[in-house]
Amino acid sequence: MEISVALFVELGAVLLIVSVASAAARRVGLSPVPLYLLAGLALGEGGVAPVPAAGDFIGTGAAIGMVLLLLLLGLEFSPEEFTQSLRLHLPSSVLDAVLNAAPGALAGWLLGLDWRGCLALAGITWISSSGIVARLLTDLGRLGNRETPSVLSVLVLEDIAMAVYLPLLGAALVGSSPGRTALALATALGAVAVALFASHRLRDPLNRLLDTADSEQFLLRILGLALLVAGAAEAAHASAAVGAFLVGLALSGQLAQRVRSAVEPLRDLFSLVFFLAIGLTIDPRDLLPVLPAAAALAAATALTKVAVGYYAAGRDGVGRRGRLRAGAVLIPRGEFSVVIAGLAAGVAPQLVPFAAAYVVILATAGPVAAFLVDRPRPEPAADAAPG
């Protein structure tokens, strides 16, 4: 086996650099996600210190990071609780689509895009980053908060909506026939339905299959199942994130605790790679010309996401502070927005740099907003006693 010296040197340097960034962020209580994204920008093509040899590994590791993030997130809830939450938040999902897709479509029209470009930009502004939100909930210690089921319901409903949106967008971009488009839609929705059914009905068989005293076998079975289901979901034009989340949802009790202990170190490593990869896909030189327009759209859709989170958490009876936390944590956009821009590059090439600038702004500002919204306010100083 040939050893790549460049890969080892570059990857080692990257990990050491981001470890320093992570330590600095955690010293002030901030999630390191924005610094990982900025490090990716600096290390990608057009950055100050490109790492081409490490690019392939980071790209593959990023996909694994997404699966592990959503797998562990699914462990926090039971299928019954989550299904009830999904039903409760269908109105939240409709509001999310209206408030966040409409600004993208309008911006596309103002930018002179045709209807296909407007449809693509609507998707770019609509979908929050499941990976970034999952990491933020962990970093900020909010997995047990009352508003978290509301946030997760909005995210999963968005990913399910993508099972409808992406085949429609693909058909619009390549001119597929109505029959092929309908088949792709049915396949995607069928995959989601099967996964939901399995998370309810196959919980006991899954627990028996995965439970083993051998720690190596246990880790191999968990990772194998999660990657297999995520890959099947992606192949069926559904979201790999939904597949991984539902695997976690199907595991329960003591087994779920063992999964957390076994997978968390891998989750932390590969989620770091996931955030680096988002930055690596963006050339900083392409950002400046489109930055003002992207910043204006980012500001508008940050506010609309806050409104959606505020409304969704309110349906669960959460107080004002929790509603604001729910809204702020939904602000980041990421992997889906980049993918949609890439799909539409053939009919709207200007969308690629625009979406890149938009993602960088919200993927960086979103975690900062999520941190700031929950900071305790300083107590007013007491009046000095008269001397």
pLDDT of 86 reads 76
Contact 18, 276 (CB under 8 A): yes
Is residue 288 predicted with pLDDT exceeding 90? no
SS3 per residue for 259-282? HHHHHHHHHHHHHHHHHHHHHHCC
C-alpha span between 59 and 44 (Å, rounded): 12
**Rounded mean pLDDT, 19-31:** 81
Over the stretch 31-43, which tens digit does the pLDDT of each residue have?
788 888 888 888 8
Question: Does the reported pTM lie above 0.85?
Answer: no
| The two three-digit tokens of residue 188, written as one number | 């995607």
pLDDT of 384 reads 44
| The two three-digit tokens of residue 246, written as one number | 């539902």
**Rounded mean pLDDT, 320-335:** 92
Over the stretch 62-104, which tens digit does the pLDDT of each residue have?
888 888 888 887 787 777 767 777 788 889 999 999 999 999 9
Q: Please, what is the Cα angle at 268 between 266 and 274, to 5 degrees?
A: 100
pLDDT of 99 reads 96
pLDDT of 383 reads 46
Is residue 367 predicted with pLDDT exceeding 70? yes
C-alpha span between 265 and 8 (Å, rounded): 20
- 98 closest CA partner among 109, 108, 106: 106
Is residue 387 predicted with pLDDT exceeding 60? no
Over the stretch 232-278, which tens digit does the pLDDT of each residue have?
877 776 667 778 887 887 786 678 888 888 898 888 888 888 888 87
pLDDT of 1 reads 56
**Range with the lowest mean pLDDT among 251-255, 278-282, 287-291, 383-387?**
383-387
**Rounded mean pLDDT, 108-128:** 92
C-alpha span between 54 and 47 (Å, rounded): 14
The CATH topology of domain 5-372 is Na+/H+ antiporter like fold (1.20.1530)
Q: How far is CA 107 from the centre of its chain?
A: 23
% of the chain residues with pLDDT over 70 = 91
Average pLDDT, whole number, for the chain? 83
| The two three-digit tokens of residue 354, written as one number | 């625009």
**Range with the lowest mean pLDDT among 115-124, 171-180, 300-309, 346-355?**
171-180
**Rounded to the nearest 10 degrees, how much is the dihedral formed by the CA atoms of 356, 362, 367, 370?**
-170
pLDDT tier at 326 (50, 70, 90 boundaries)? very high
